[in-house]
């Protein structure tokens, strides 16, 4: 079964609606493939990846209830306390979709280390996307794809970002984040 979504309009609408709700509750950033896709790279995806600040259970419950009120549902459970305790607190991701739909999905996880926290402080809105959402910095997206993920798809995503944003990229920042990633890998 092919679970990829190729219609950017659906992904864009889903991302903007979802991020508008999350933004009312916590600092977030979109990372990985959707940054390249929303910047014009042609490829399908089944989910959008989001990192959020670590938050107390009470705040998460409020955010979850706001998402539900706005036509989203969590795929793991409808109980926000269970989602928090068994998934997020355990450093696992959770997935939300529009109610009654299987795709697209927003995969969320808490910031897990100093690199995620650094990136959250430097999140940006990527003008070329036309979207009113926060992404990890260009340098952060490129560094993670080249230093951590390294699959053919990720290398192509990074190459695309390097081409599209060639005037804006700071190589020193990419190298700094790559070093941070190597240091965090070493600590694990």
The pLDDT tens digits of the residues spanning 40-89 come to: 998 888 899 999 999 999 999 999 999 999 999 999 999 999 999 999 99
Other beta carbons within 10 angstroms of residue 134's beta carbon come to 18
Tokens of 182: 């190597």
Question: What is the average per-residue pLDDT within 134-156?
Answer: 97
DSSP structural state of residue 76: S
Question: What is the average per-residue pLDDT within 24-41?
Answer: 96
What per-residue confidence (pLDDT) applies to 66?
98
What per-residue confidence (pLDDT) applies to 7?
55
The pLDDT tens digits of the residues spanning 106-115 come to: 999 999 999 9
Question: What is the average per-residue pLDDT within 29-42?
Answer: 94
Tokens of 30: 């979109």
DSSP letter string over 69-112? HTTEEESS-S-HHHHIIIIITTT--EEEEETT---SEEEEEE--
What per-residue confidence (pLDDT) applies to 187?
77
Is 4:45 a contact under the CB 8 Å cutoff? yes
Helix (H, G, I), strand (E, B) or coil at 15: helix
Q: Can you tell me the distance from the alpha carbon of 21 to that of 9, in angstroms, rounded to the nearest whole number?
A: 19
What per-residue confidence (pLDDT) applies to 5?
45
- Given a cut of 70, is residue 183 above it in pLDDT? yes
Question: What is the average per-residue pLDDT within 1-28?
Answer: 82
What per-residue confidence (pLDDT) applies to 188?
65
**Domains along the chain?**
8-183 (3.30.460.40)
DSSP structural state of residue 101: -
- Given a cut of 90, is residue 186 above it in pLDDT? no
């Amino acid at each position: 079964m092919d679970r990829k979504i190729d219609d950017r309009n659906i992904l864009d609408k889903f991302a903007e609606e979802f991020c508008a709700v999350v933004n009312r509750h916590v600092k977030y950033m979109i990372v990985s493939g959707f940054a390249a896709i929303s910047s014009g790279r042609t490829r399908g995806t089944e989910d959008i990846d989001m990192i959020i600040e670590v938050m107390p259970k009470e705040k998460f419950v409020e955010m979850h209830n706001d998402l539900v009120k706005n036509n989203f549902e969590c795929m793991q459970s409808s109980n926000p306390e269970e989602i928090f305790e068994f998934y997020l607190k355990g450093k696992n991701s959770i997935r939300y979709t529009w109610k009654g739909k299987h795709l697209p999905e927003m995969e969320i996880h808490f910031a897990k280390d100093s690199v995620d926290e650094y990136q959250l402080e430097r999140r940006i809105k990527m003008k070329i996307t036309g979207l009113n959402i926060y992404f990890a910095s260009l340098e952060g997206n490129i560094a993670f794809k080249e230093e951590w993920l390294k699959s053919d798809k990720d290398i192509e995503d990074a190459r695309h970002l390097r081409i599209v944003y060639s005037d804006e990229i700071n190589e020193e920042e990419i190298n700094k984040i790559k070093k941070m990633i190597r240091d965090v890998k070493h600590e694990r």
